[in-house]
Amino acid sequence: MKKEKIFQLRQSLILLVTATIWGTAFVAQSVGMEHVGPFTFIAARFALGALALLPVILLQNRRLKADGIGKGKMADGRAGSGKVLWKGGLLCGVALMSAASLQQVGIMRTTVGKAGFITAMYIIIVPILGVFMGRRIRPLIWGCVLLAAAGLYLLSMSGAFSLQSGDALCLACAVIFAVQIMLVDHYVEVADGVRLSAIQFLTASALGTVMMLLFEHPSLGAAWNARVPILYAGIMSSGVAYTLQIIGQRGLNPTIASLIMSLESVIAAAAGFIFLHQTFTGRELCGCILMAAAIVLAQL
Give me the DSSP letters along 34-94. TTS-HHHHHHHHHHHHHHHHHHHHHHHHHHHHHHTPPTTB-TTS-BSSSHHHHHHHHHHHH
Delimit the domains of the chain by residue range: 8-299
Phi, psi of 28 (to 5 degrees): -65, -40
Mean per-residue pLDDT for 4-31?
A: 87
Most confident of 7-11, 118-122, 144-148, 199-203: 199-203
Question: What confidence tens digit (pLDDT) does each residue in 206-260 have?
Answer: 999 999 999 998 888 999 999 999 999 899 988 888 778 878 888 888 778 878 8
Among 58-72, 193-207, 208-222, 255-269, which is the least confidently predicted range? 58-72
For 84: left if phi > 0, alpha if psi spans -120 to 50, otherwise beta; the answer is: alpha
Is the Cβ–Cβ distance between 152 and 265 less than 8 Å? yes
- What is the average pLDDT across 144-170? 78
pLDDT confidence of residue 205 = 96
Distance between CA 162 and CA 108 in Å, rounded? 16
Residue 179 pLDDT level (bands cut at 50, 70, 90): very high
Among 170, 175, 136, residue whose Cα is nearest residue 156: 170
Q: Which residue has the higher pLDDT, 146 or 94?
A: 94
80 pLDDT band, cuts 50/70/90, is low
pLDDT at 69: 61
Q: Which residues in 199-233 are b (16+ Cβ under 10 Å) and which e? A: bbbbbbbbbbbebbeeebebeeebbebbeebbbbb
- Residue 14 confidence (pLDDT) above 90: yes
Between CA 123 and CA 73 the distance in angstroms is 33
